[in-house]
């Protein structure tokens, strides 16, 4: 719309007959009330009003209180260009015209001629370029008598009082129809009520997502002793029997398991006989050394041989003493099934079982690398045991490994330990469950979407 809208043929001519004008007024009001929507009503206002009064140019604009008016429809224009020079000039002019009668409610509602003299010089100079000489401003008001929109009518002939009276009646109907369609249903009270629930839901959702919650991670956990004693194999051999059962309480000095001792006993007997023989040879050589100088030279060699045989016998006797492994202190014998060890060859130093103190348990947690977000010393820990998930065990994180390793499930994890809070009944050693480690406060939206965000950063690098 870089040029003024095309002029329609002027309908100025013989005056409209009173009866015909009244019937046309009623017809236009009926059509306005039956408009299907806002666009249809705007088209009706700028194009069908000429059936009642003659004009060359018509424009329909909505008013936004103290804001700038907005051009909605122009006569004889199918597609409106809101950023065209004419549209911007007309909106500026209507803002001045509508504000000219703001001091009096009667003046703001009245149909009146527009005097170009009230306009600033820049707008007044463009008057002849954009609009005809005679312009009529017709405010459209709602039930509260507040102007909601306006009809801009222009032609070259002066406006008569009869035409202004008819337009006053017609625009009152137009204003009510526009209020019913555009204000009441979209921007008025009914629209506010209709959109109040979605708005409240959106605000409530934003408020909930902004609530601070503690960062947390879940990981498998097990109850273990805080200071266990590792019982390892003291020699190479085959385990012959167990004297205790898994998770059985034991006392200090109580036998735990025994190795097969047949070979060791045979070696001990052979070492004893070898020692006896070596001592006999030493005695014989010592007696013969007084007469035979050569025999005297062999005495030192035979004495070393006796010491070697004695050391072999002492070693074998020491190994026989270790055949039966005893408990170094009281506790609970923690190991797998007895049948997993019977007849199994073990090497020296290989762990067979653990002695756990039932009065000093701790929580052993395997935290996967992807969930290691809150591993800070002193963080609260809640353990939900599989046997009693409704009563969590409370603890505090005491240690977290710096390097990750493979867990029993084959997952790369950090090993974390937590000490139980005082005043709780110690759970049984060996119980398993799920530990929840709590961290610092973060918004709920970050807590919910941290995994998608991490995946997005890993995938796209943003």
Q: Count CB-CB contacts under 10 A for residue 391.
A: 8
CA distance 39 to 302: 126
Which of 103, 92, 185, 106 is closest to 139 using CA atoms?
106
DSSP reduced 3-state for 160: coil
The answer to whether the Cα torsion of 235, 240, 244, 250 is positive or negative is negative
pLDDT (0 to 100) of residue 13: 40
pLDDT score for 297: 65
**Residues near 336 by Cβ (< 8 Å), separated by ≥ 6?**
246
Q: Which helix (H) or strand (E) holds 207?
A: helix 189-209
**Integer angstrom CA distances of residue 207 from 134, 203, 443, 444, 450:** 56, 6, 10, 10, 18
Is 0.75 surpassed by the pTM of this model?
no
Query: Looking up tokens 């549209």, which residue turns up?
Result: 87
Q: Residue 324 has what pLDDT?
A: 85
From first to last of the 462 residues of the chain, give the pLDDT tens digit.
444 544 444 444 444 456 777 888 888 888 888 888 888 888 889 999 999 999 999 999 988 766 788 898 999 887 888 888 888 999 989 888 888 765 577 777 888 899 888 888 888 888 888 899 899 999 998 888 888 889 999 999 999 988 889 888 988 998 888 888 876 555 444 445 556 778 888 888 888 888 888 788 888 999 888 878 888 888 888 888 888 988 889 988 899 888 887 777 777 788 788 878 877 877 777 776 666 666 666 777 778 887 888 888 888 788 887 888 888 888 888 888 888 888 888 888 888 888 888 888 889 998 888 777 767 788 889 999 999 888 899 999 988 888 888 887 788 888 899 999 988 888 888 889 999 988 888 888 877 777 777 777 777 765
The strand pairing partners of 113, in sequence order, are: 136
Tokens, residue 319? 């190994």
Distance CA 235, CA 68 (A): 97
**Backbone φ, ψ for residue 112 (5° rounding):** -145, 155
Sorted by where each starts, the structural domains of the chain and their CATH numbers stand as 18-189 (3.30.450.40), 216-226+359-460 (2.40.30.170), 229-352 (no CATH)
pLDDT given at position 58: 93
Q: How far apart are CA 5 and CA 19, in angstroms?
A: 32
**Angle between helix 161-178 and 38-48 (nearest 10):** 170
Q: Which of 180, 236, 459, 222 is nearest to 354 (CA)?
A: 222
Q: Report pLDDT for 6.
A: 45
* DSSP secondary structure, 401-438, as one string: -SS-EE-TTS-EEEEEEEEEPTTSPPPPTT-EEEEEEE
Nearest CA to 154 among 41, 6, 20?
A: 6
Determine contact, residues 355/331, Cβ cutoff 8 Å.
yes
CA distance 243 to 252: 14
Taking alpha carbons only, the member of 351, 355, 347 closest to residue 254 is: 355
Give the pLDDT confidence score for residue 10 in this predicted structure.
42
Residue 154's pLDDT is what? 92
The helix or strand, by DSSP H or E, that contains position 60, with its residue range, turns out to be: strand 57-62
For 37, the token pair is 């929507």
Q: Are 438 and 382 in contact (CB under 8 A)?
A: yes
Q: What are phi and psi of 248, to 5 degrees?
A: -90, 135
| Per-residue pLDDT at 294 | 67
What is the crossing angle of helices 293-321 and 262-288, to 10°? Answer: 160
Cα–Cα distance for residue pair 132/158, rounded to 1 Å: 11
- Find, among 375, 371, 368, 377, the residue nearest to 450 by Cα: 371
3-state SS class at 173: helix
pLDDT at 7: 47
How far does the chain reach from its first CA to its final CA, in angstroms? 45
Task: Look up residue 110 and give its two tokens.
Answer: 């009245």
Q: How far apart are CA 140 and CA 62, in angstroms?
A: 9
C-alpha distance from residue 26 to each of 19, 52, 163, 434 (Å)? 11, 10, 15, 79
Distance CA 187, CA 200 (A): 17
Rg of the chain over Cα atoms, rounded to whole angstroms, equals 52
Q: Are 333 and 248 in contact (CB under 8 A)?
A: yes
* Residue 116 DSSP label: G
Burial of 211 (0-12, 13-18, 19+ CB in 10 A): exposed
């Amino acid at each position: 719309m870089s040029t003024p809208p095309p002029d329609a043929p002027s309908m100025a001519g013989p005056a409209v007959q009173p009866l015909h004008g009244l019937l046309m007024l009623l017809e236009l009001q009926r059509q306005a009330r039956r408009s299907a929507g806002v666009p249809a009503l705007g088209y009706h206002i700028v194009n069908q009003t000429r059936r009642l009064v003659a004009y060359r140019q018509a424009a329909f604009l909505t008013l936004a209180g103290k804001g700038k008016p907005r051009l909605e429809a122009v006569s004889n224009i199918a597609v409106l260009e809101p950023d065209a020079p004419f549209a911007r000039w007309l909106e500026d002019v209507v803002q001045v015209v509508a504000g000219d009668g703001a001091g009096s409610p009667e003046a703001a509602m009245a149909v009146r001629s527009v005097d170009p003299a009230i306009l600033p010089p820049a707008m007044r100079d463009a008057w002849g370029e954009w609009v005809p000489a005679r312009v009529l401003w017709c405010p459209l008001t709602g039930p509260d008598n507040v102007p909601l929109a306006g009809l801009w009518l222009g032609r070259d002939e002066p406006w008569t009082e009869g035409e202004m009276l008819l337009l006053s009646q017609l625009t009152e109907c137009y204003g009510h129809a526009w209020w019913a369609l555009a204000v009441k249903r979209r921007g008025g009270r009914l629209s506010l009520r209709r959109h109040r629930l979605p708005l409240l839901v959106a605000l409530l959702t934003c408020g909930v997502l902004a609530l601070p919650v503690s960062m947390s991670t879940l990981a498998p956990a097990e109850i273990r002793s805080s200071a266990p004693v590792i019982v390892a194999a003291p020699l190479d051999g085959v385990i012959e029997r167990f004297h205790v059962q898994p998770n059985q309480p034991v006392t200090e000095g109580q036998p735990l398991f025994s190795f097969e001792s047949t070979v060791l006993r045979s070696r001990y007997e052979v070492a004893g006989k070898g020692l006896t023989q070596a001592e006999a040879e030493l005695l014989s050589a010592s007696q013969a050394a007084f007469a035979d100088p050569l025999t005297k030279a062999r005495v030192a060699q035979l004495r070393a041989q006796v010491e070697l045989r004695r050391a072999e016998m002492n070693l074998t006797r020491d190994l026989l003493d270790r055949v039966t492994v005893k408990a170094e202190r009281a506790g609970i014998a923690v190991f797998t099934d007895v049948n997993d060890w019977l007849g199994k060859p073990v090497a020296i130093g290989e762990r067979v079982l653990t002695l756990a103190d039932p009065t000093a348990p701790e929580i052993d947690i395997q935290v996967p690398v992807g969930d290691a977000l809150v591993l800070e010393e002193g963080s609260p820990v809640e353990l939900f045991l599989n046997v009693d998930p409704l009563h969590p065990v409370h603890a505090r994180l005491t240690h977290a490994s710096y390097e990750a390793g493979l867990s029993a499930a084959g997952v790369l994890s950090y090993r974390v330990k937590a000490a139980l809070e005082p005043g709780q009944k110690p759970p049984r050693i060996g119980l398993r469950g799920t530990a929840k480690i709590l961290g610092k406060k973060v918004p709920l939206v970050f807590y919910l979407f941290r995994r998608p965000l991490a995946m997005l950063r890993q995938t796209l690098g943003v």
